[in-house]
């Protein structure tokens, strides 16, 4: 049975993924609520970045609800009558991995939009950066999907799809560290410092995805229980940091720039 789990998912392992997906729902949902409510706490020119952040976490909250239900149905619906653990007869194909990739296809480009939008750059500069970043982000997700879902497309191995997905990732890093750095000279020292930390957070959290991708690969294409757990827990932690924490830092930068641009606004906001 080529598409079945190769060993049993224990109660501890099942609970680890179940609770992590639940944490993902709570994190995305309540970050979304906060950002939507707090969007008026920044000047209109920076509000778009906050609203895009809220959109990212709202999209993710929806997909985490779907992943939670899909995982519970696929891995929690059948149990061994003697041991009480989820049975190994549940197929990996029953868990819809596509939910994550649909989510990433929508949210990863938007993460880059909010990163550029919060700086309040000239429209020509913003347009130039986004025309390169958004297609590269979409390509990164599309190329990673066949390898992560163990699909034999065009005769390419999982590792080859992972390598192809890395190429647009490296290009995104080049644009963020080389091209975007040219536009940071007009920012205050405080904003530059936080923004530098934000870029490091981005590369650190995005770095979790290829590590988890590699850990979840095996020669047969059938995920073991350990691989299921490492994949879902790793991706969920990276998602929470890359979406929720990232969005809250974007909001912080928008607040700082609003206070720097308008002293009257700063006084009403307690800066």
Lookup: tokens for 255: 């607040």
Instruction: Report the half-sphere exposure of 101 (CA within 13 A, side-chain side).
Output: 17
Give the pLDDT confidence of 22-42 residue by residue, as tens digits. Answer: 999 999 999 999 999 999 999
Q: Check pLDDT > 70 for residue 86.
A: no
pLDDT at 47: 93
Q: For residues 136 and 172, is the Cβ–Cβ distance under 8 A?
A: yes
- CB neighbours (10 Å) of residue 117? 23
Q: Residues 155-163: what's their mean pLDDT?
A: 74
Strands (E), 31-155: none
First vs last C-alpha separation in the chain: 63
pLDDT at 18: 92
- CB neighbours (10 Å) of residue 134? 17
Task: Spell out the alpha helix ranges (H) of the chain.
Answer: 11-38, 44-76, 98-117, 123-148, 158-174, 189-215, 225-239, 246-261, 263-268
Average pLDDT in the chain: 82
Which residue is associated with the tokens 């868990």? 95
Q: Check pLDDT > 50 for residue 119.
A: yes
Q: Check pLDDT > 70 for residue 16.
A: yes
Confidence of residue 93 (pLDDT cuts 50, 70, 90): low
User: Whole-angstrom Cα distance, residue 24 to residue 60?
Assistant: 8
Lookup: tokens for 160: 């080859």
Give Cα 70 to chain centroid, integer Å.
19
Confidence of residue 182 (pLDDT cuts 50, 70, 90): confident
Q: Check pLDDT > 70 for residue 270.
A: no
pLDDT at 271: 55
Give the pLDDT confidence of 225-262 residue by residue, as tens digits. Answer: 777 888 889 899 999 999 999 999 999 999 999 988 87
Residue 108: strand, helix, or coil:
helix
DSSP symbol at 87:
P
Domain range 11-268, CATH class: mainly alpha
Give the pLDDT confidence of 188-203 residue by residue, as tens digits. Answer: 889 889 988 888 888 8
Whole-model pTM: value is 0.86
């Amino acid at each position: 049975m080529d598409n079945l789990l190769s060993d049993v998912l224990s109660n501890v392992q099942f609970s680890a993924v179940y609770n992590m997906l639940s944490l993902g729902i709570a994190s995305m949902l309540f970050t979304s609520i906060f950002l939507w409510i707090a969007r008026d706490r920044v000047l209109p020119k920076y509000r778009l970045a906050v609203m895009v952040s809220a959109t990212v976490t709202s999209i993710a909250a929806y997909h985490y609800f779907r992943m939670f239900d899909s995982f519970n149905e696929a891995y929690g619906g059948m149990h061994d009558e003697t041991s009480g653990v989820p049975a190994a007869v549940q197929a990996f194909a029953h868990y819809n991995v596509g939910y994550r990739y649909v989510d990433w296809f929508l949210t990863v480009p938007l993460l880059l939009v909010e990163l550029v939008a919060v700086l309040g750059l000239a429209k020509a500069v913003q347009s130039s950066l986004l025309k390169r970043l958004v297609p590269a982000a979409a390509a990164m997700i599309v190329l990673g999907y066949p390898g992560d879902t163990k699909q034999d497309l065009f005769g390419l191995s999982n590792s080859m799809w992972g390598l192809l997905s890395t190429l647009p990732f490296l290009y995104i890093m080049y644009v963020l560290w080389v091209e975007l750095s040219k536009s940071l000279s007009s920012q205050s020292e405080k904003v530059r410092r936080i923004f530098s930390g934000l870029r490091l957070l981005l590369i650190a959290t995005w770095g979790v995805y290829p590590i988890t991708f590699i850990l979840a690969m095996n020669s047969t294409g059938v995920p073991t229980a350990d691989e299921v757990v490492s994949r879902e827990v790793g991706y969920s932690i990276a998602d929470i940091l890359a979406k929720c924490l990232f969005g809250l830092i974007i909001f912080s930068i928008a607040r700082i720039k609003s206070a720097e641009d308008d002293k009257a606004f700063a006084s009403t906001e307690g800066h």
